[in-house]
Amino acid sequence: MGPDAIPLSKPDVGPLEMELVQEVIRSGRLAIGPMTERFERLVASKAGCHNGVAVSSGTAGLHLLMQAMDIGIGDEVITTPLSFIASANPIVYVGARPVFVDICPKTLNMDPKKIEAAISPRTKAIVAVEAFGNPAYMDEYARIAAKHEIPLIEDSCEALGTTHKGRPCGSFGRAGVFGFYPNKQITTGEGGMIVTDDTHLADICKSLRNQGRDVFPDSASEGQKLGAWLQHPRIGYNYRMGEMAAAMGCGQMRRFDEMMANRERVARLYMHRLAGTESLVLPTIEPESEMTWFVFVVRLTTDYTVDDRDRIVEGLRLHDIGSATYFPCIHLQPPYREKFGFKEGDFPIAESVSNRTIALPFFNDMTEQEVDLICQTLEVMISRQNLRRT
Ligand SMILES: *Cc1c(COP(=O)(O)O)cnc(C)c1O
């Protein structure tokens, strides 16, 4: 794609973020400082949770939760096959087995009716994902998890600020995780955050992200904290977030409403423009869900094959329009086939949907003209593909 291409996504970082990052640089405190704590409070409060634990990525956050909940070899964790691979990889990191549950074709989230059949005595958690940010069924997952006394982990990496029946994503389970990679609702470059009402769990995660050091209450003396700095009661990791990243996050949170209003505007433009395009299925968002929109993903109807879809995406890219096939099914990725024996046909709805999705450019300052050009080009590519097929 050339220099005038319309990218698939683009971060929205402005002078406020630059100012705050400079403030950190001037302060000389580059790690484990006040910006991280500030950012944790801002994100936790957006998710309606008492605690936030900033980490180096969304993936790191999920990994820490697996460790903190003592999930390991011989255990099973239920999750969705239609997601970014990072929602399942942490299950594999700790030696547990991912048990996938097929999706509902309307919302693209795990079908709540199919979850109970996947629960076994080894099930140690359910990792629920808001696919492309859609929070459908989060309350139902929470109910099923509670009934079976299994913790629900919400991988809300695509849903910061989204609410379902008035309740914020990240708050439905024992803990939630957000990701701040540049294509997410807000970015810190790289980064993530665990949110939870369970302060004990938050403290274990804080210790695990910081090389297994003990976490002290604010009332502890400096001497106590200093003496414990090189004591490591557990094996931890360095999954900390730096102060500069946290500063960028604080700036992004201050601009949250304005940024999300723009995402809503762009999503509406697409919805309106594509409503009459017969070959496409548009995102189905229930009226009880308030979306902050992670990406804008449409899909071809079942008249189209995976090859049709791939040619259309290739055509868009040749016309300088960023486009992607979000997401190939996780269970069909080579390590999942090899390690766990998954194969085509295991989760037919997820596979069928995944073969026909097209992610279109989506970023905050997109103009109506850009949306129109993208949609026109998409329609031309679909028409060309129709001709090739006849
Ligand atoms: C982005 C994402 C992650 C991982 O976040 P990183 O910060 O890139 O590690 C995990 N799960 C889902 C569903 C995501 O979209």
- Calculate the CA dihedral of residues 219, 220, 223, 224 and round it to 10 degrees: 180
User: Are residues 189 and 182 in contact, defined by beta-carbon separation less than 8 angstroms?
Assistant: yes
Are 267 and 302 contained in the same domain?
Answer: yes
Residue 22 lies inside a defined structural domain of this protein: yes
- Count Cα neighbours of 99 within 13 Å in the Cβ-side half-sphere: 19
- CA triple 80-81-86, angle to 5 deg: 85
Q: Domain ends where: 201, 235, 254?
A: 254
Residue 4 lies inside a defined structural domain of this protein: no
Are 124 and 223 contained in the same domain?
Answer: yes
Tens place of pLDDT for every residue, the chain, 390 residues? 888 899 999 999 999 999 999 999 999 999 999 999 999 999 999 999 999 999 999 999 999 999 999 999 999 999 999 999 999 999 999 999 999 999 999 999 999 999 999 999 999 999 999 999 999 999 999 999 999 999 999 999 999 999 999 999 999 999 999 999 999 999 999 999 999 999 999 999 999 999 999 888 777 888 887 777 888 999 999 999 999 999 999 999 999 999 999 999 999 999 999 999 999 999 999 999 999 999 999 999 999 999 999 999 999 999 999 999 999 999 999 999 999 999 999 999 999 999 999 999 999 999 999 999 999 999 999 999 999 987
Ligand 1 atom with the shortest distance to the CA of 60: 9
Residue 9 lies inside a defined structural domain of this protein: no
Sheet holding 152-155, edge to edge: 51-55, 192-196, 175-179, 152-155, 123-129, 76-79, 97-100
Catalytic entry in 46, 106, 124, 184: 184
Structural domain including 345 reads 256-389
Are 216 and 96 contained in the same domain?
Answer: yes
Give me the pLDDT at residue 24, please: 98
Q: Domain ends where: 205, 223, 254?
A: 254
- CA triple 349-60-151, angle to 5 deg: 60
Are 149 and 282 contained in the same domain?
Answer: no
Ligand 1 atom with the shortest distance to the CA of 179: 7
Residue 27 lies inside a defined structural domain of this protein: yes
58 C-alpha to ligand 1 centroid (Å):
5
Are 47 and 116 contained in the same domain?
Answer: yes
Assign residue 169 the CATH number of its domain: 3.40.640.10
Ligand 1 atom with the shortest distance to the CA of 130: 13
Are 136 and 221 contained in the same domain?
Answer: yes
Are 283 and 226 contained in the same domain?
Answer: no
Are 129 and 201 contained in the same domain?
Answer: yes
Assign residue 295 the CATH number of its domain: 3.90.1150.10
Q: Domain ends where: 197, 223, 254?
A: 254
Residue 8 lies inside a defined structural domain of this protein: no
Structural domain tally of the chain? 2
Ligand 1 pocket test target in 87, 160, 293 with most atoms within 8 Å of CB: 87
Residue 141 lies inside a defined structural domain of this protein: yes
Are 366 and 316 contained in the same domain?
Answer: yes
Are 117 and 225 contained in the same domain?
Answer: yes
Are 228 and 268 contained in the same domain?
Answer: no
Specify the 3-state DSSP secondary structure of 139: helix
| Interatomic CA distance for residues 60 and 190, integer angstroms | 11
Residue 154 lies inside a defined structural domain of this protein: yes
101 C-alpha to ligand 1 centroid (Å):
19
What share of residues in the chain are helix, strand, coil (percent, to 5)?
A: 40, 15, 40
159 C-alpha to ligand 1 centroid (Å):
11
Residue 7 lies inside a defined structural domain of this protein: no
Are 59 and 182 contained in the same domain?
Answer: yes
184 is catalytic: yes
